[in-house]
Structure 1
Amino acid sequence: MGDFQLSEERRMIREQDEDKEYLIFIYRNDRNGWTVRAVFNPASGEFSIRTDIGMLEFALIEFITDVFDQFRAMVEERLPRIIQTYYVDRCRNFSVILQNKGLPAVAWDSFLPEEYKGFRRLVKPNEAVRIINGSYMVLSYYNAETKSGLSVMYNVLRDDFFAERRIHNFPNLVHDFDSESLRDLQSALQKRLLPVLDEILADMD
């Protein structure tokens, strides 16, 4: 589907000499490094679908079950549509909430570079990605080798923007982009995006 390619795995992933998860299959997007995988957790006895979009990994909670036949039925019925809608055709299936917020109307490419000092822009606001807890990731700059970067999210319930940075996959909040209006977010990104990315680079040493 799109740039995602299916690979049937059926193997145990081990971490620190312990069984972490049994990987059933995985959809990989080699262009941006994203994955959507089906796993069985031997500790909890549950099947789930987990999504990794670089700056964030999360479970699609609607697929979590300890009954394999139920899991298989949900995967067959719903997963292809979710991958296509959430991760492939993001522009075509843009949320009405984000449209009303005005995200598609801004010329983001005019001031958001595609790359900056090893950080790749994996998400931009007019291609926002639905994540968890009523939020969308609207911007992401990520260095896959160091597992470091910056993401900006929009929470639908609170109607505000907030940001998180990761350094060697360790997360913490950054408040430079906290805002309630799109105009304030745009202004903050124009002033603080590159300095914050420089700060992340400095803290990676």
Structure 2
Amino acid sequence: MDETLIEAVKQWNIDASLPLQVGDFTLIFSFEPDGKGEETIFAYKNEKKGWTVRALYNDGSGDFSVRVDIGMLEFSLIEFITDDFDAFRSMTEERLPAIIESHYVHAEKDFNVIMKQKGVPDGDWESLLPAKYAGFRRTVDPTCAVRIINGSYMVAAYYDGVTQSGLAVMYNFLRDDFFAERRVHNFPNLVHDFDSTSVDELRGALRERLCPVLDEIRDKAERKAL
């Protein structure tokens, strides 16, 4: 980032241009350019869940972007990618707080028709999905499923931020199926115990396999840490 751009970013009155709080997300202004890869301009952080939404500048590509980290997955919001600082500033001021509100604070407002017709958020999930298990904390359940990428919602997630390990169950509304991914020290791979095409099938798989799979992930995370 050249000196002119650094000065332009420093002159951006972020705490006056963006809300200091969006739901449980708190604005953190943390611009300290070092010319080494990605520079964080500011971030919204949800301390309770460990989620972040970061505004970034990439020294290599010269692009600005917004990157979302929800523990079990990290991805960019492609609509914010630009090499024009003025355009990026305008987009983030006008659109980012509303996106955080609808996508990650009140995610139920972001359900599409297919999700609703499928019945994913309906019924009693609380008794099926414990709030905590084996050191993992539930960060997502079907009543507040989070829209992610590639036509999918994350409908359930358990995560341990210390080991960067956990389990996420997704619903792809383009394929109309459920699938899952586990992470052990942030290394991902698919787990097929929860592959299903109906909500009833998914409930049955979670009832039978959720705790055993989380036990396996915990065991692998502990053995890998030794």
| TM-score, reference length from structure 1 | 0.95
Give 1:147's aligned residue.
164
Q: 1:105 offset after TM fit, Å?
A: 1.7
AA aligned to 2:200 is: R
Residues 49-198 of structure 1 correspond to what in structure 2 (within 5 A)? 49-198=66-215
Q: 1:60 offset after TM fit, Å?
A: 0.3
Q: Does 1:27 align with 2:40?
A: no
SS at match of 2:108: coil
Q: Does 1:46 align with 2:67?
A: no
From 12, 15, 22, the counterpart of 2:33? 12
Structure 1 stretches lacking a partner, 5+ long? none
Give 2:220's aligned residue.
203
Quick one: distance in 2 between partners of 1:7 and 1:64? 20
The CA RMSD over aligned residues, in Å, is 1.2
Quick one: distance in 2 between partners of 1:131 and 1:2? 19
Comparing 148-157 with 94-103, which one deviates more in the overlay? 94-103
Choose between structure 1 and 2: higher strand proportion: 1
AA aligned to 1:38 is: A
SS at match of 2:82: coil
| TM-score, reference length from structure 2 | 0.86
AA aligned to 1:141 is: Y
Deviations 1:85-108 (A, max 9, x none): 000112344333211111222200
Contact 2:110 2:147 (C-alpha < 8 Å) held by counterparts: no
SS at match of 1:109: coil
- If you compute each CA radius of gyration, which structure gives the higher value, 1 or 2? 2
User: Deviation above 3 Å: which 4+ runs of structure 1?
Assistant: none
